[in-house]
């Protein structure tokens, strides 16, 4: 059941990203924005468990990167050595690179979910913040995380299209 849900959501993610342009990837309506940034010689995303107020607008690039690194962190902390850290990940900076990276992060997570037996779902595992949760809850949370950010991406893309069509505002 979880694998079917994961696959369904992944299909929606792909649909919501189809035809994504470089302008949409980086678009922001304000100065208060989280986007891809350079830090310590590699590209990353700003992140805080407690975001500043008001919370920054997050670009599609940020949302895609956030979805990808979430899967890296969940996979490593729930099923691996618990060593992965956001600060150590070097993220791509363009649409094609981020699309590939998102897929590269999704596939091992999907493979892990596929390997699970029903009996594994009650097993306690670690989150990236050190809390233990059942395997089922961790996977369900990851699926819902993708639903949330995929829907946000679709909404931002629709907003951009309306700004261009209805108001003649070109984004870049």
List pLDDT tens digits, range 64-78: 999 999 999 999 999
Are 59 and 33 contacting, i.e. CB atoms less than 8 angstroms apart?
Answer: yes
pLDDT value at position 38? 87
In a domain, 84, yes or no: yes
- DSSP lists the bridge partners of residue 44 as 37
Domains of the chain: total: 1
pLDDT in tens, 32-75: 999 999 888 889 898 888 888 999 999 999 999 999 999 999 99
In a domain, 18, yes or no: yes
Judge whether residue 86 has pLDDT over 90: no
Report how far residue 71's alpha carbon sits from residue 56's, in angstroms, rounded to the nearest whole number: 22
Report how far residue 50's alpha carbon sits from residue 5's, in angstroms, rounded to the nearest whole number: 29
Judge whether residue 171 has pLDDT over 80: no
pLDDT value at position 172? 59
Report how far residue 44's alpha carbon sits from residue 79's, in angstroms, rounded to the nearest whole number: 23
**Residues 6 or more apart whose Cβ sits within 8 Å of residue 129:** 49
Report how far residue 148's alpha carbon sits from residue 165's, in angstroms, rounded to the nearest whole number: 26
Determine the structural domain holding residue 29 and report its residue range: 2-167
In a domain, 172, yes or no: no
Q: What is the CATH number of the domain that holds 127?
A: 1.20.120.450
Judge whether residue 134 has pLDDT over 80: yes
In a domain, 103, yes or no: yes
Considering the entire predicted model, what is its pTM?
0.93
**Residues 6 or more apart whose Cβ sits within 8 Å of residue 88:** none
Report how far residue 39's alpha carbon sits from residue 15's, in angstroms, rounded to the nearest whole number: 31
């Amino acid at each position: 059941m979880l694998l079917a849900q994961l696959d369904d959501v992944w299909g929606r993610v792909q649909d919501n990203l189809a035809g994504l342009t470089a302008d949409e990837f980086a678009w922001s309506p304000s100065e208060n924005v989280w986007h891809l940034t350079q830090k310590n010689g590699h590209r990353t995303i700003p992140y805080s468990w407690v975001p500043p107020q008001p919370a920054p607008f997050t670009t599609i690039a940020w949302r895609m990167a956030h979805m990808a690194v979430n899967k890296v962190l969940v996979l490593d902390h729930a099923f691996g050595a618990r060593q992965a850290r956001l600060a150590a990940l070097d993220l791509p900076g363009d649409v094609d690179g981020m699309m590939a990276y998102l897929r590269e992060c999704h596939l091992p997570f999907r493979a892990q979910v596929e390997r699970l037996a029903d009996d594994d779902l009650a097993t306690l595992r670690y989150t990236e913040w050190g809390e233990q949760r059942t395997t089922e809850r961790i996977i369900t949370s990851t699926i819902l995380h993708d639903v949330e950010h995929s829907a946000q991406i679709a909404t931002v893309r629709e907003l951009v299209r309306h700004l261009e069509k209805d108001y003649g505002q070109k984004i870049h």
